[in-house]
Structure 1
Amino acid sequence: MFLSQVWALLWSMTGSPQISRRGLLTGLAAGLASPALANAPGRSPFPKPRPGDGMRRALPATADLVARANVRGATSVALIDLESNMLLDGFAPALRLPPASTTKALTALYALRTLGPSHRFVTQLLRTGPIEGGVLKGDLILAGGGDPTLDTDALAELARSLSDAGVTAVSGNFYHDGTALPSIASIDPGQPDHLGYNPAIAGLNLNFNRVYFEWKREDGNYAVSMDARSGTLRPRVRVSSMSVQPRQAPIYTYERREGRDHWTVARGALGREGGRWLPVREPEAYAADVFRTLAGQTGISLKPSQPLPADLPSATSLSALNSAALPQILRGMLKYSTNLTAECVGLSATQALGARPETLAASGRSMASWYAAQMPYPAEMTFSDHSGLTDSTRISSRDLATALAQRGAITELGPLLKPVTLRDRQGNQLSDYPTAIFAKTGTLNFVSALGGYIVPPSGKRYAFCIMSADLDRRALLTRAQRDRPEGARPWARRARKLQNDLLLNWTRGLLT
């Protein structure tokens, strides 16, 4: 069954088979805010696993598959019937493990139901004075609204809006404002400095808060550059610098000094040419630095940016740039597993509930409380962030699958999740498999998770979660070893094979 047919079937169950996907999401978001969702179901939420319910008894037991997989550490597995909220199958379903990036599926639902599917993030240019004869007689402010997807092309559009507003010069100062979200130096301080997927967070972000480092060997030396590239633009940046050093290791060193990110790289680690994204630690200054360059390219000279002072006179909007609607942002987050997006939408959702978290852990506690109110039984969840990058997040497979099994969640999340293609016992892809599976993966060193939905041809719907973790082995890793530790890849392959085999076993049973 093609995925589009699956969604047609799900939509028909809503009683509105002709409704558009966007309209369906919007309608559900409006209707799912009811307090009734927090009510407990009429039947017991703690049934014993019942492998005979639609499952062929001749199939291997889940415990046997877990034993055969030889995935060192612990494994927690749960399969939930969406109609009854009953646990149909499980292995240590109450064991709490790190869900890794599978957390992003829960963050997506949290954001959709809190911010609403029509939510857009807004980045603005503000002014403190009038425009007279083309001169802005006052200060210019680049104010972020928490948009995690702002890129250089969009920032260039905002810079051009100055000219469109008739501005040719600015007499006052240029300020940046990232206070829409708390300023956080990195998602997980335990990760190596140079990992681009572990950037800083602020209310003003650019290019997922990464700068592009490029190198090329010329006449025995290396020419290096740091830029904020997009598909068409490559503005140089002044807030980050790179120096090539005559050493073999460590590959990178980092130091924050005099308001700039100072990097060094080992000469022995560089080939003839290449490039990679590195994180920035002051996103607001980075975005303002690039904006100043882009404005200069339109003929408008700005002073170096400064943080917005608290005593600045009130400002009015000069122009604004809206992000894509939230479902589109979340689809990209779930497809590419972008950590910054998860943290920004999670923090924004928490603020929409009236809180003002200063840390990711504080916002994670708000998300855990929100989910606790939706669950049909007392559940214990610990979210240290919204992306799953931090391994101190803990949840059981039963709780994660039950959270995904909330009324209407499959219709909201399903179109945003990636389809899963199973493999047979010989490793061949089952491209025409009649059961649709769509899920979010999660991977850390010695942690692997998968959570999502199963829809067989019968139209019945199931939520599942499979998590494995060797926490003892992970705890032995030093900070420097967390990039590519020895043994992590073969362990992850075994964990992914277990996920495949469990799904294959379940779907063959569900087909009967």
Structure 2
Amino acid sequence: MGRVMMGLGSVVLALGVGMVACSRPSDQITQRLAWQAAPFFQPPAEPDGVAEDLMAQYLQRLRQRGISETTQGIYLQSGLTRLAVHQGTIPQSAASLTKVATTLAAVEEWGLAHRFATTVYGTGSVENGVLRGDLVVEGTGNPFFVWEEAIAVGNALNAQGIRQVTGNLVIVGPFYMNYKTQPEQAGELFRVALTPSQWPQAAQTEYNRLPPGTPKPQVQWQGSVVVASTVPPATMLLRHQSVNLGNILKQMNIYSNNVMAQVLAEAAGGAAGVARMAAAAAGVPQDEIQLINGSGLGTANRISPRATVAMLQRLEQDLAAQGAGIADLFPVAGRDRQGTMQDRNFPPGTLIKTGTLNSVSALAGVLPTRDRGWVWFAIVNNNGPTVEFRAQQDRFLQDLSQAWGTAPLTAQAAGIADEALGDPLRIQTGAALQP
């Protein structure tokens, strides 16, 4: 788009120069005024009358239900044009809109292609299928290491001839499994994953989704789960790579997973670091993004509607530079029917991020329209019944869509390919382990 605009500008400049060369001064003035009056030079109206009227009706419906408009925030924007604003720069409890900040910080920090490594070592020799020593698992903060991934690691150990461990399972570093962040718990889940006779139903269910013929790992343990601060002298056996960050963020946002968000935020510098990074990237004042964690749990996470829209717009810029788009990381009405999309009534094609706490309901995203293009929005509702807030949010977006017409959420780039959990091709062994 930028190249198209520059091309049009060059045409305008060339035509203008030609006019100066062949016209009298009075003609030049008339022509210049005519160019300035042309639609090409007219920015959209700000604010938009339709948007303001519908916003006023929305706030009136809340007042009729006894909900004060002083704790509600709204920000609607199309391109650089603000369409309607109500307390748009005031930070309010935003619940899981906090995950927008975490998403932006993660993309800025690592990029979509980043993968978190989990490395497995053995402290002894392998003889006749027995590792005579400890099995060491070193994590680097993968927030999406689940049953399927552990099963793949177990099968890779079996392929190296390891079916029994005489020592302990040693956990080092930030290793998480099935959204458990305590190393002892994560380690115990990993141990169970490699012992099918102890699988709970959840593990069997996920195994059943793996490609037919996938082996079940078989590892017997004699020791227990212990936690260490560093990797002891050991031989590297394998390195597991997570699905890429793009897939991780999509999963996090579709289901609004609090543990995944918190893990990523801690790795990106903690709540304060995420807030600083997000505010700087979005170009908004620091005080409009106030965080105590990366998930949104707790009313002290406060974000202004304007800052939420600015973060989403910056995300779209960052993603476009990496061959993707914002629709790759957030749920879209009509495409995604699980997670936070359930029981909502959004116009087709609406991209959303929801947020819910007691007496707090927030919504942000993109409403694609025929007349206004992409309308970026943030609606932050505090101090009222969340069920009523949700119903009125859905109605507000439907009213806007009806007024401006519907349009598809056109893909801006090739997108992020889905990666299957439990894929053995993401495990490196042997010569592939060399730097």
* Smaller-chain TM-score bracket: 0.5 to 0.7
Q: Which residue of 1 aligns with 2:207?
A: none
In the TM superposition, residue 57 of structure 1 has moved relative to its aligned partner by 4.9
Q: How does 1:56-95 map to 2 (within 5 A)?
A: 56-57=49-50, 60-70=53-63, 72-73=67-68, 74-82=71-79, 84=80, 86-95=81-90
Q: Which residue of 1 aligns with 2:414?
A: none
Q: Which residue of 1 aligns with 2:177?
A: 205
| Structure 1 residue ranges without an equivalent (≥5) | 1-9, 16-49, 181-202, 211-279, 351-362, 422-426, 474-490
In the TM superposition, residue 388 of structure 1 has moved relative to its aligned partner by 0.9
In the TM superposition, residue 61 of structure 1 has moved relative to its aligned partner by 4.9
Q: Which residue of 2 aligns with 1:416?
A: 329
Contact 1:101 1:387 in 2 (8 A): yes
2:374 is the counterpart of 1:461 = yes
Q: How does 1:359-374 map to 2 (within 5 A)?
A: 363-374=270-281
Cα deviations by residue, 1:184-226 (Å, 9 ceiling, x for unpaired): xxxxxxxxxxxxxxxxxxx3222x239xxxxxxxxxxxxxxxx
Partners of 2:351 and 2:3 lie apart in 1 by: 19
Of 378, 391, 397, which residue of structure 1 is paired with 2:299?
391
Partners of 1:460 and 1:162 lie apart in 2 by: 53
SS in 2 for 1:419: coil
Of 301, 312, 320, which residue of structure 2 is paired with 1:404?
312
Which structure shows the higher helix fraction? 2
Partners of 1:14 and 1:291 lie apart in 2 by: 56
Q: Which residue of 2 aligns with 1:336?
A: 255
- The sequence identity of aligned pairs, in percent, is 25
Q: Which residue of 2 aligns with 1:498?
A: 392
Partners of 2:3 and 2:185 lie apart in 1 by: 45
Change (3 A) 1:393 1:13: farther
SS in 2 for 1:440: strand
For the aligned residues, what is the CA RMSD? Answer: 3.6
Q: How does 1:117-196 map to 2 (within 5 A)?
A: 117-177=112-172, 179-180=173-174
Letter in 2 for 1:66: L
Partners of 2:180 and 2:153 lie apart in 1 by: 18
Q: Which residue of 1 aligns with 2:14?
A: none
2:358 is the counterpart of 1:445 = yes
Larger Rg: 2
| Structure 2 residue ranges without an equivalent (≥5) | 7-42, 199-215, 335-342, 407-435
2:318 is the counterpart of 1:325 = no
Letter in 2 for 1:303: Q
Contact 1:204 1:287 in 2 (8 A): no
In the TM superposition, residue 468 of structure 1 has moved relative to its aligned partner by 0.5
SS in 2 for 1:209: coil
Cα deviations by residue, 1:84-106 (Å, 9 ceiling, x for unpaired): 2x433111112221111122223
SS in 2 for 1:441: strand
Partners of 2:116 and 2:344 lie apart in 1 by: 43
In the TM superposition, residue 77 of structure 1 has moved relative to its aligned partner by 0.6
Contact 2:123 2:235 in 1 (8 A): yes
